[in-house]
Structure 1
């Protein structure tokens, strides 16, 4: 029995409160939708039929940006999966963070690209009034292996302009190397339990991750050869989930900026969030480059169960298996 049914005054006020809440959410979503979408940066396939469209796989329908912004009002953790070198993906991530603010949230913005051991340096820089433009240099971004800081800068600009926390989310590189060499069993038992790393995965999920890693390396080795790398990815996803939960518990909501392989709900960061806090309201968005000849969303697969797919132009048409042929050959020849 609800509280309102026990209290006549509460019962009288409930519809009014609901109406006011609806009005607040409507105004907030209108404000979010009023923020113009960014112009395209990537040069290829801008005129593709899917470019700029947002697909909801569960509803099998396209959504408008305004409809997406309305969903953000009920979102606790927003996960934004990118292709790292596509500037449009980062522009849209920045737009989504702005939309979260417009619907009344104060999200912490967590970056896969910033390992947790740089958290102190990040905090010190921001406390000293550091700018978004200088953040990359402060974190030695140029030596990190990630694409140029300039394409990530718009996200940091939105965060700092709105007084949002920026969070270091990923495992430190040294810890990732340790897991690659010795396995996730090298992590403390208490940490593995807290992070839900001890929970068994269904065999089909493990198999899908191994197959994806093999494809990402152009099938230079069978899926089984990537078992240790799969352990690293699982640990990274668990660490990022932990960073998001810590930020969520400290404040309002959280946003993750990460590769789309990490934001997929079937076995990425959302899986670990659900394992630790099942009632958390998450929304996972994959930004996906369109492909010539593929004009229907179904031709792009299920994207690992992402809640939304936002189609964008292509950054380039380079075949990564050709671009990294020499490195892949060395990997193939390795014992």
Structure 2
């Protein structure tokens, strides 16, 4: 008589992971830590694939406590949804903004956790709170002077030098507030003996500027930062515990796109 194994979410995930690994490079080793911060480049498809595979691997191993994502607001989560929940149900529960975060890109990451019975938790600061954050000078004190200046420079570079100097302090405060929100959300999701996986843009996971600066010191020391590096882009020194190298993303002139969005004339 043939041996028949019970079909469980963990078994289905294991079979799915094995099938995926047969056609694609396997996800690198995932650090054993209570909190793993996975930094991505939003337009690098390989980064979302690796994030999906990391979710699956941790879930199969019984290590995944929760998936915290920058792509949904704090206060939104999939708790209570069954593993069989539809994508529409998941998007509704997370109040997913497909304009900002294309579902075809991030949906597989989210659904991998849901189908494993693991909660997906939004960690970003809600847009309704951003105006108050822009005016909250207390946020400036969350970083020392050097880190605050570095954050300012990073935001200035990220906006291609198109932001007026008068707007930079407010934009820095929003970034700090978002990192604080993600840090608080991840901390609240911790479970003994398991790992919270947090997926956010790589700028958010930097040890000198980002989420680690807003964690309890003991947790910050135990947390591990994984930087997904597209095409050899430089990783700031000392800001990651591991680097996952991926192919380069086809060249795009992000500054040209931003100038168009802001109604700025094209450079000649």
Shared fold (TM-score, shorter chain, > 0.5) = yes
Q: TM-score, normalised by structure 1?
A: 0.64
Structure 1 counterpart of 2:236: 302
CA drift at 1:328:
3.6
Q: Is the 8 A contact 1:289 1:313 kept in 2?
A: yes
Q: 1:304 deviation in Å? A: 6.4
Conserved? CA contact 1:241–1:270, under 8 Å: yes
Contact 2:66 2:119 in 1 (8 A): yes
2:7 corresponding residue in structure 1: none
Q: CA contact under 8 A between 2:229 and 2:235: conserved in structure 1? A: no
SS of 1:209's equivalent in the other structure is helix
CA distance in 1, matches of 2:175, 2:192: 26
Instruction: Give 5+ residue unaligned stretches, structure 2.
Output: 1-14
CA contact (8 A) 1:90 1:151 kept: yes
Q: Contact 1:265/1:271 (CA < 8 Å) preserved in 2?
A: yes
Matches within 5 A, 1:1-335: 36-37=20-21, 68-69=29-30, 72=31, 74-119=32-77, 122-123=78-79, 126=81, 130-132=85-87, 134-141=89-96, 143=97, 145-180=99-134, 182-183=135-136, 185=138, 200-221=142-163, 225-249=167-191, 252-275=194-217, 277-278=218-219, 281-290=222-231, 300-302=234-236, 305-329=239-263
Deviation per CA, 1:110-134: give whole Å up to 9, x if none. 1111112434xx446x259523464
Q: Highest CA radius of gyration, 1 or 2?
A: 1
Q: Provide, for residues 138-194 of structure 1, a one-character-per-residue CA deviation record: whole Å limited to 9, x for no partner.
A: 5443x45323212112212221232111112111110012212x2254xxxxxxxxx
* Residues 128 and 81 of structure 1, relative CA distance in 2, 3 Å threshold: closer
TM-score normalised by the chain length of structure 2 = 0.79
- The 1:304/1:210 distance shift into structure 2, 3 A limit, reads farther
Whether the 8 Å contact between 1:81 and 1:260 is mirrored in structure 2 is: yes
Q: Equivalents in 2 of 1:39, 1:127: separation in Å?
A: 29
Aligned length: 250
Q: Distance in 1 between matches of 2:132 and 2:193?
A: 32
Higher relative helix content: 1
- Between 1:258-267 and 1:247-256, the stretch displaced more is 247-256
| 2:5 match | none
Instruction: Return the alpha-carbon distance in structure 1 between the equivalents of residues 45 and 53 of structure 2.
Output: 13
> Which structure 1 segments of 5+ residues have no match?
1-30, 41-51, 53-63, 186-196, 291-296
The 1-side partners of 2:248 and 2:168 are apart by: 28
Cα deviation 1:43-83 (Å, max 9, x = unaligned) = xxxxxxxxx8xxxxxxxxxxx956x24xx3x3110111112
Partner Cα separation in structure 2 for residue 204 and residue 257 of structure 1: 26
